[in-house]
Structure 1
Amino acid sequence: MIPYTYSLHKIHNTDNFGFEPNDYSRFKFGDEQVARSFGKDLADGFIRYYLTENFITGQIVVISSPYCFIPTATFAMKNYFVSQLNRWLVEHGGLVVQEAKVHRTITYKEDYGALSAEDRMNLIGNDSFHIDKDFLEGKTLLFLDDIKITGSHERMILKMVKEYGLKNDIHMLYYAELMNKDIHPNVENHLNYHQVKSIFHLEEIIKGGNFCINTRIVKYILNCDFNSFSIFLERQSGDFINNLYDLSLGNSYHTIESYSENLNYLKNYIYSNNYKLI
């Protein structure tokens, strides 16, 4: 089974990515306005270059990149991809899409975007992906991700497909794809941190009115130095602070030693403020 692969932007050099690196950086750290733009653009591209000539009459299922409890940045992009695609499908007599989730079992603190191709595979190879096979039967599957660098995630998805014995038509869709293999995979981190250089650069995104929390921003906050973390926390709303703590627990970040100092401070900060309110 060979899936159809489509990427909106194909990266051949680092002088011109085809998109604005600052936008990509903001997207990775929760700017939903950028996620909206990316999702709509990806849907339009897939429609233009595939669906107009290969209309899918059956049921489509859209599946975002795997996550445990906290969604990835791709999840926000997926929402707008689905909205844009649904409008086109309905106008052309098609069925609105369904959605499914790939569950993953392992969480890790390593910054995936900084790793080589070999290190990425060694890291993610310890993970396992799970999906509802019965729900997918007879449907066309669209797996979405924001960027394809080495293909490690795609290989894990296809490994899952093989293990589950899925016979579906499968499409792997990416906002961007690294085509030039002479470029080191850590170009992904160049994009991830193009605008976000410190924890304090997050504040404009968080308070900009279009914020959608994701795995990356939670890990980044918990992993920063304690002094910066404590100053950052003082500037945030109670809702953000409580959400940050609950999501951290949901992803089992309390079991990661390097997060313990910040996470314990966060817990005590919440309990202390609740006591003051009482």
Structure 2
Amino acid sequence: MTVTSYSLHKITDAGNFGFSPDEYSRFKFGDDAVAEKYGVNLADGFIEHHLRGRKVPQLVIVSSPYSFIPTATFAMKNHFMFRLNRWLAANGNPVAQETKVHRTITYKEDYGELDAAQRLQLIGNDSFHIDREFLAGKKVVFLDDIRITGGHERMILKMVAAYNLTNEIYMLYFAELMNKSIPPNIENHLNYHYVKSIFHLEPIIQGEHFFINTRIVKYILNYDFDSFCIFLQNQTHKFVNLLYNMALGNGYHTIEAYQQNLDFIHQYLFNRKYKSIEHGN
């Protein structure tokens, strides 16, 4: 097994990332237009540095681990694959396949706020699962949006070892923190650079390029109740239903911190349904 790492942006200066912090923040909260830009740029970089001029074997693309609700990286992965497959097909190579890393634990803590030790402690009890037989004889590309301390990468490689995978592996990142004197919570600075409150989500959710992900669901469910109620009543019935379905799918109804906001959503949807029946719709 060989492991090759590639990142499009190398962060060495906390004041100059090589990409827009506002765009990154919007991406993390579901702006699919930014996910497309990132996916295309990462695919182009990967092709240029690792594929061009070579015979490419069967690739399998794997987004960052998730349970039911996809991550922001999943949206980037979609556009990465679209761009990559056009190049692969045009150059007589097999188009990429994809599979999923399943994870078993969900948590309410914000990973971006934590230092390296806290990150390892948080995810250390998680377990990742992948279809070993599907990967046989293929080159595996693990995709993530940013590498800060390498905690998730270590968990992926722990899974690789547990499954005795012998595949050639790529670890791909949109960005990577190279300057270790910059504290890991720089990730939190990026995550919330645009989204300063729940109301900053509205242009993203109500825009034409919205892709729901784990971060935005957790953020809304964990928000203070009064502001959450105001926010929710400004959203479409379609979005509120999607939010509730995703929350249940990830088991968030079992997390006490989310209970009050989820109960409000449930009551809100029940009242909407009751009023609709009452008026003969």
What's the TM-score bracket when you normalise by the shorter of the two chains?
A: over 0.9
Counterpart residue number, 1:194: 193
Give how far 1:216 is off: 0.2
Counterpart residue number, 1:235: 234
Q: Distance in 1 between matches of 2:224 and 2:53?
A: 52
Counterpart residue number, 2:37: 37
Q: Distance in 1 between matches of 2:191 and 2:64?
A: 17
Q: Secondary structure at the match of 1:94?
A: coil
Counterpart residue number, 1:77: 76
* Aligned: 1:51 with 2:51: yes
Partner AA of 2:220 in structure 1: I
Give how far 1:55 is off: 3.7
Counterpart residue number, 1:250: 249
Counterpart residue number, 1:154: 153
CA RMSD of aligned residues (A): 0.7
* Aligned: 1:62 with 2:61: yes
Partner AA of 1:117 in structure 2: A
Q: Secondary structure at the match of 1:4?
A: strand
Counterpart residue number, 1:203: 202
Give how far 1:208 is off: 1.2
2:39, 2:79 within 8 Å by CA — same for their partners in 1? yes
Partner AA of 2:82 in structure 1: S
Q: Secondary structure at the match of 1:259?
A: helix
Q: TM-score, normalised by structure 2?
A: 0.97
- Give the unaligned 5+ runs of structure 2: none
Give how far 1:205 is off: 0.5
Give how far 1:53 is off: 4.5
Q: Distance in 1 between matches of 2:50 and 2:110?
A: 34
Counterpart residue number, 1:185: 184
Counterpart residue number, 2:25: 25
Identity within the alignment, % = 64
Counterpart residue number, 2:165: 166
Q: Secondary structure at the match of 1:75?
A: helix
Deviations 1:193-231 (A, max 9, x none): 000000000000011110000000000000000001100
Partner AA of 1:248 in structure 2: A
Q: Distance in 1 between matches of 2:146 and 2:185?
A: 12
Q: Secondary structure at the match of 2:180?
A: coil
Q: Secondary structure at the match of 1:138?
A: coil
2:11, 2:17 within 8 Å by CA — same for their partners in 1? yes
Give how far 1:272 is off: 1.0
Deviations 1:89-135 (A, max 9, x none): 11111000000000000000000000000000000111000011111
Q: Secondary structure at the match of 1:22?
A: helix
Deviations 1:29-66 (A, max 9, x none): 0000000000000000001111115442x211000000
Q: Distance in 1 between matches of 2:215 and 2:196?
A: 14
Partner AA of 2:48 in structure 1: R
Counterpart residue number, 2:92: 93
Q: Distance in 2 between matches of 1:97 and 1:254?
A: 36
Would you say how many aligned residue pairs link Structure 1 and Structure 2?
277
Partner AA of 2:106 in structure 1: T
Partner AA of 2:118 in structure 1: D
* Aligned: 1:126 with 2:106: no
Deviations 1:160-184 (A, max 9, x none): 0000011101000000000001110
Q: Distance in 2 between matches of 1:50 and 1:141?
A: 13
Q: Secondary structure at the match of 1:236?
A: coil
Q: Distance in 1 between matches of 2:122 and 2:2?
A: 24
Partner AA of 1:77 in structure 2: M
Q: Secondary structure at the match of 2:16?
A: coil
Counterpart residue number, 2:6: 6
2:2, 2:167 within 8 Å by CA — same for their partners in 1? no
